[in-house]
Amino acid sequence: MDVKAIRQEFPILGEEVNGHPLVYLDSSATSQKPQKVIDAVNTYYKTANSNVHRGVHTLGSRATDQYEGAREKVRAFLNANSTAEIIFTRGTTTSINTVAYSYARANLQEGDEIVLTPMEHHSNLIPWQQAAKASGATLNYIPLQDDGTISLEDVRTTVTENTKIVAVTHVSNVLGTVNPVKEMAKIAHEHGAVIVVDGAQGAPHMKVDVNDLDCDFYAFSGHKMCAPTGIGVLYGKRELLEIMEPVEFGGEMIDFVNLYDSTWKELPWKFEGGTPIIAGAVGLGAAIDFLNDVGMDNILEHEQKLADYAMEKLRTIDDITIYGPEKRAALVTFNLNDVHPHDLATVLDADGIAVRAGHHCAQPLMKWLSVTATARASFYLYNTVDDVDRLTDGLLKTKEFFGDVF
Amino acid sequence: MSFNNLDTLYRQVIMDHYKNPRNKGSVEGDALTVDMNNPTCGDRIQLQLQVDDGIVRDAKFTGEGCSISMSSASMMTQAIKGKKLDDALKMSKAFSEMMLGEDVDTEELEMGDVEALQGVSQFPARIKCATLAWKAMEKGVQE
């Protein structure tokens, strides 16, 4: 994998920030976009823009072909059985809410259990809190091991005959933990439950085969994998999606409409009310092409090396606390002594280094870690060991700057 | 390496307030209590005001956050203690203007060390940190 060549494809990586070349270490929040994706969106608007699934005219066909072509790319990317199982949404949050509204509310009753982990992003937590409140179901949590992983033993004791839904993140956006979702799916199914996987930090970084994982739902966002913001995906097993009611009603998703009653289109369109995010889907298709050209396995391997190198380098800094397990996805969450993460991020930013500081939309996990906030450096295919070195130097400088204070 | 740009933000007096916060703790006896947080970053403050006859007799705070939010709370409580409520609100307005980069006469309003936070206006991402305590105070006074 030629990282130097890959970097050339991302125009923003040539930016200067505060007089320094940009070091972008916040891809877990959102990834940067390659020229090919920017061009695909641009070209769509210049040559094909129209509404989908209705135009008799030529542009209508172009737009529809590109939109549905993107769906096929997503299907292949996930190794799903059919494009009927690929629903375009606004992002992971909307995808999970769709399941929490439609599937959960139709299938949950008092006494039922939803099983979660304390490491969930708010987007895979609050929809279930609301579904539990609406149905009288209870939330049960698989406890975390000291290193921020979960044990299958604990999964087996937490999932019971009353469990109807297991909702878990594929990869923790704070700890970098990669959860054993395939084994968890098996345990969920043994108890008659479905498993919903938050793939926001999974799909951008590794090969995801929904057939192999045997997950019932898999949700992810385009913008974390080189695509534009505003486009995401909900994968669902066909037999489940078939029996689910739409969440949004209106144009685009109907079959016949009468004054007092209506019927829905077939899958996947019954879940796509309103004019869809056409250009976003086209951009996601281009992003998938781009990632496939590099190769998801190559990306994972590159990121693993970066994560290992970052752990090795950051550990050499005195007074640093690193959170999460040894074996991790390509992100490192940490605190530097008593320097507040905001202050740390401001000092790094002065050197052109972008990291995330805050609670990372995982407040329960912050409580578990006994911190109010942390800093996080997250990597993607365009990051290099030089970026890690700049981060390390920046952190040493931060220590120097605040040295006489703490 | 140069810290020039950062030095306009992290002035000595700010770090002093962060390290040795004034008026940190709880007010003894009856007090108006305001909780406020910054949901995007997790900073939180609890501000207690003891107001008598339209005058702020005591002001104390507890909370967690970055150097800017905590030093700002420290400076704010120092500035409003013993002042009329109207004057406290005037200071808050002046502080908002200061964060927008406007020239504000902090001396006329007797705002004490608050002037040191002027540099925050050059760091847009940090303005919310600095205004948290002032917003809590405004909310308390309005109640």
Residue A81 lies in a domain: yes
pLDDT band at B59 (very low <50, low <70, confident <90, very high): very high
Same-domain status, A92 and A134: yes
Boundary of a domain, candidates A293, A321, A340: A293
Cβ-proximal residues to A28 (8 Å cutoff; 6+ apart), any chain: A173, A201, A224, A331, A356, A376, A378
Rounded Cα–Cα distance for residues A357 and B40 (Å): 10
Mapping DSSP to helix (H, G, I), strand (E, B) and coil, where does residue A257 land?
Answer: strand
Asked if A358 lies within 8 A of B42 by C-beta distance, the reply is yes
Residue A4 forms part of a structural domain? no
Chosen domain end from A240, A261, A293: A293
Sign of CA dihedral A67, A69, A73, A75: positive
CA distance A203 to A218: 9
Question: A340 and B5 in contact by Cβ < 8 A?
Answer: no
CATH code where residue B113 lies: 3.90.1010.10
Pick out chain A residues at pLDDT < 70: 404-406
**CATH number of A321's domain:** 3.90.1150.10
Q: Is residue A198 part of a domain?
A: yes
Cα dihedral A66/A68/A69/A73 (nearest 10): 130
Which residues from A are below 8 Å from B64, CB to CB?
372
- Please tell me the distance from the alpha carbon of residue A71 to that of residue A73, in angstroms, as a whole number: 5
Rounded to an integer, what distance in angstroms lies between the CA atom of residue B122 and that of residue A64? Answer: 47
Tell me whether residue A76 is in a domain: yes
Q: Assign A181 to helix, strand or coil.
A: helix
A106 φ/ψ angles, rounded to the nearest 5 degrees: -80, -20
Q: Are residues A312 and A285 in the same domain?
A: no
Strands (E), A258-365: 262-264, 320-323, 331-336, 353-354, 356-358
Both A345 and A300 in one domain: the answer is yes
A258: CB partners within 8 A, 6+ apart: none
- Examine residue A246 and say whether the peptide bond preceding it is cis (omega within 30 degrees of 0): no
Q: How far is A127 from chain B (nearest CA, A)?
A: 18
Q: Does B117 touch chain A (CB under 8 A)?
A: no
* Residue A342 sits at the chain B interface (C-beta within 8 Å): yes
| Integer Cα distance of A339 and B65 in angstroms | 10
CA distance A301 to A200: 19
- The answer to whether the beta carbons of residues B79 and B107 sit under 8 Å apart is no
Q: Are residues A356 and A387 in the same domain?
A: yes
Query: Is residue B1's pLDDT more than 80?
Result: no
Helix (H, G, I), strand (E, B) or coil at A332: strand
Does residue B2 come out as left (phi exceeding 0), alpha (psi in the -120 to 50 range) or beta?
beta
Residue A46 within any structural domain of the chain? yes
Q: Per-residue pLDDT for B127 more than 60?
A: yes
Could you tell me if B95 lies within 8 Å of chain A, comparing CB atoms?
no
Residue of B nearest to A348 (CA): B6
A130-156 burial, b for 16+ CB within 10 Å, e for fewer? ebbeebebebebbebeeebbbeeebbe
Cβ–Cβ contact A122 with B under 8 A: no
Contact yes or no for A340 and B67 at CB 8 A: yes
* Model pTM score: 0.94
Check residue A404 and give its pLDDT.
62
Question: Is there a single domain that holds both residue A204 and residue A169?
Answer: yes
Question: Could you tell me if A120 and A190 lie in one domain?
Answer: yes
ipTM of the complex: 0.86
Q: Which domain holds residue A345?
A: 295-402
Same domain, A111 and A127: yes
Which residues of A fall within a CB distance of 8 Å from B10?
Answer: 343, 401
CA-nearest residue to A364 within chain B is B42
C-alpha dist (Å) from residue B115 to A16, A274, A405: 31, 52, 20
Contact A373 B15 (CB under 8 A): no
A261 in any annotated domain? yes
Q: Are B42 and A18 a contacting pair at CB < 8 A? A: no
Record the tokens describing residue A115, joined without a space. Answer: 């099983």
Does one domain contain both A278 and A207? yes
Please report the DSSP string for chain B in residue order.
---HHHHHHS-HHHHHHHHS-TTBS--SSS-EEEEEEETTTTEEEEEEEEEETTEEEEEEEEEE--HHHHHHHHHHHHHHTTSBHHHHHHHHHHHHHHHTT----TTTTT-GGGGGGGGGGG-GGGHHHHHHHHHHHHHHHH-
**Domain hosting residue B78, numbered range:** 4-142
Residue A15 lies in a domain: no
Q: Verify that A60 and A92 share a domain, yes or no.
A: yes
What does the angle CA A368 – CA A151 – CA A373 come to, to the nearest 5 degrees?
20
**Nearest CA distance, A242 vs chain B (angstrom):** 38
Of B34, B62, B38, B54, which Cα lies nearest the Cα of B130? B38
Rounded to the nearest angstrom, the minimum Cα separation between B31 and chain A is 26
Whether residue A215 sits in one domain with residue A266: yes
DSSP A21: E
Q: Which of B15, B40, B126 sits opposite A405 (nearest CB)?
A: B15
* Domain harbouring A163, CATH code: 3.40.640.10
Domain stop point among A293, A321, A351: A293
- Are residues A331 and A263 both part of a single domain? no
What is the number of structural domains in chain A? 2
A361 touches chain B (CB under 8 A): no
Question: What is the number of structural domains in chain B?
Answer: 1
Complete DSSP assignment for A114-162: EEE-TT--GGGTHHHHHHHHHHT-EEEEPPPPTTS---HHHHHHH--TT
- A357 — contact with chain B (CB < 8 Å)? yes
Identify whether residues A242 and A376 lie together within a single domain: no
Give the Cβ contact number of residue B16 at 10 Å: 16
Distance between first and last Cα of chain A: 42
Q: With an 8 Å Cβ cutoff, are B68 and A350 in contact?
A: no
